[in-house]
Structure 1
Amino acid sequence: MISKQDRRYLKRCVELAKTAIEKGDQPFGSVLVSENGEILFEDHNHVSGGDHTQHPEFAIARWAANHLAPDERAKATVYTSGEHYPMCSAAHGWVGLGRIVYASSSAQLVEWQKEMDVEPSPVKPLPIQEVIHETEVDGPDDELAEVIRQLHVKANQR
């Protein structure tokens, strides 16, 4: 269940996705939030330079591994504009991060890409739960997913 508090963090992810577009990148943004509600780390996509591992969810996993104790990671929540693809899901699982909340799903992104005649990703868009075990996952958020869809349309019109 996505709460009002969750939506606040998801809206920040949308802002970061907009920043990514402004910088010529794909519209993805993510934040890591502590058990106490403090934003610990945030980032957006940086794949336009050709390194397609520069996803914000992956950056969160790296940052958390270097800055948080295992119990702090397990109690933290990752908020993201789009559901993790397998690379980021795996990083999340290996680092031991807690709950994941996303605004739009991978399945939605695949449909939007088809509608826009965009080449599909070379990586299968598996749901998070098919990649990592025992992680609480909530999403999508219908209202914010539509905002994310519009950002993808805008990014693909460039």
Structure 2
Amino acid sequence: MLAYYIHFAFIALFNHLAAESTSIKCNPDIDPHRPVRKEECLKAISQIVYNPDNTLDLASKLADYTYGECNISIYNELGSRITKSEVEARFNEILEKCRYDAGGTTTHSKDPIWFYTGIRALGGFQSWDSDFPARLPTCAINDDNAKPLTKDDCMK
């Protein structure tokens, strides 16, 4: 009888750890009138550059790609080894659970790696998107307390 309880406790613990390791949080409040479109996110995911062995470069601590209205991000602060199949699986989990909303998940099984899907930036933050045209002048400030920029604030 004791073996039954130990077996049950082990299964419960395993399920709890598995749920914690891939817990996905969706955020429908970010921009409800601008949905995250799965087909655009899949194209953004397809732009990720991998090593010949299908792993992210260990020096890539932040990967950020944009296609259409979708923006995807991977934060790998500790430079953990992660494969293309792991990246695609995490993003597919987020896109399936969150549907049209922004969302993210952190892996806890090894070193923390954070995955995020959302919508592209607007206004002064557009220049941060991966598909912003190269060599196009831009003027932006990253301070919520600053007054709005005018044309005269930007160098020509």
Q: Above 0.5 in TM-score? A: no
TM-score for the superposition, normalised by structure 2? 0.23
TM-score for the superposition, normalised by structure 1? 0.23
Higher share in helix: 1
Larger radius of gyration: 2
